[in-house]
């Protein structure tokens, strides 16, 4: 049995909220650099170069990569052998978000009621997904999510008979409808299976995978590759000005589902696909 004070979680999340918002992960930087070297469109190249310049300035000056510093999404994998002490876990997580957004001078974008819409002024509460896993460590992933691309995401309740072609059609349709509004080049997270809400969580988790990695399931790996090609053939391009870099990656996660359905969620993220993982 390992004892962990939730103050450690607060501290980690505070640091991760700031880090995620001022410095993109290495895989994202590499993907944008590779896209710049391969893009044929002159306007596309110009946009990608601006994205690279923006990333460099943000890191050097410790300022946000994007003005939309997102709603804080937190994935927690808590080892079964961990005993938590101190503040209530969710309070500790939200305190970490509160501190990070205040001390990092990050925009506060959360309203306390979706209809009344009064700002909470500290970017809390976050969206928290917790799972219990074997072991005595805690893995934390913080993924601030901007809503320009979030608003372009969709859920479909497909029929089993729709099959792989139905999935492809829905993903391509979602990206095509999003067009420039999702701030391409985008990353596309796809969740297949489970039920209505599980498919959406799978799609969100997919966005935290290392860019360029593929599903361990052969048929899903093939689908990821095919979808990326078809999306880039849409010629939406960087910022929607045309070109072959509409998406930097497609990641698919799946889960068992009911015999009568095939839930599908497509969670789009802009080129600022922020995620930081830490183990304590």
Q: What are the domain boundaries of the chain?
A: 2-20+65-145, 148-272
d(CA 27, CA 212): 8
Bridge partner list, 265: 155, 191
With 0.75 as the threshold, say if the pTM is over it. Answer: yes
∠ Cα 189 213 270 (to 5°)? 35
Tokens of 273: 């696909």
Just give the CATH number of 148-272.
3.30.1330
Sign of the C-alpha dihedral, residues 275, 276, 277, 280?
negative
Element (H, E) at 15: helix 6-22
One digit per residue, the tens of pLDDT, for the chain of length 280 reads: 999 999 999 999 999 999 999 999 999 999 999 999 999 999 999 999 999 999 999 999 999 999 999 999 999 999 999 999 999 999 999 999 999 999 999 999 999 999 999 999 999 999 999 999 999 999 999 999 999 999 999 999 999 999 999 999 999 999 999 999 999 999 999 999 999 999 999 999 999 999 989 999 999 999 999 999 999 999 999 999 999 999 999 999 999 999 999 999 999 999 999 999 999 9
């Amino acid at each position: 049995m390992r004892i962990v004070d939730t103050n450690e979680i607060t501290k980690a999340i505070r640091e991760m909220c700031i880090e995620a918002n001022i410095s993109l992960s290495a895989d994202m930087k590499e993907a944008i650099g590779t896209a710049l070297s391969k893009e044929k469109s002159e306007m596309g190249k110009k946009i990608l170069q601006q994205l690279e310049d923006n990333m460099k300035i943000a890191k050097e000056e410790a300022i946000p990569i994007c003005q939309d510093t997102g709603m804080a999404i937190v994935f927690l994998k808590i080892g079964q052998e961990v005993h938590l002490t101190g503040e209530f876990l969710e309070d500790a997580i939200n305190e970490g978000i509160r501190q990070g957004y205040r001390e990092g001078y990050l925009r506060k974008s959360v309203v306390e009621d979706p209809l009344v819409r009064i700002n909470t002024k500290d970017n809390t509460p976050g969206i928290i997904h917790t799972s219990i896993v074997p072991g005595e460590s805690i893995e934390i992933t913080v993924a601030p999510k901007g809503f320009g691309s979030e608003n372009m995401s969709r859920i479909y309740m497909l029929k089993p008979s729709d099959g792989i072609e139905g999935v492809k059609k829905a993903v391509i349709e979602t990206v095509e409808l999003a067009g420039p509004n999702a701030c391409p080049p985008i990353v596309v997270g796809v969740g297949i299976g489970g039920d209505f809400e599980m498919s959406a969580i799978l799609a969100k988790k997919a966005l935290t995978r290392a860019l360029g990695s593929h599903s361990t399931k052969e048929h899903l790996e093939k689908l990821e590759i095919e979808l990326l090609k078809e999306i880039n053939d849409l010629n939406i391009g960087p910022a929607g000005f045309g070109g072959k870099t509409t998406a930097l990656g497609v990641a698919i996660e799946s889960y068992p589902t009911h015999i009568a359905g095939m839930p599908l969620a497509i969670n789009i993220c802009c080129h600022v696909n922020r995620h930081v993982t830490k183990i304590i």
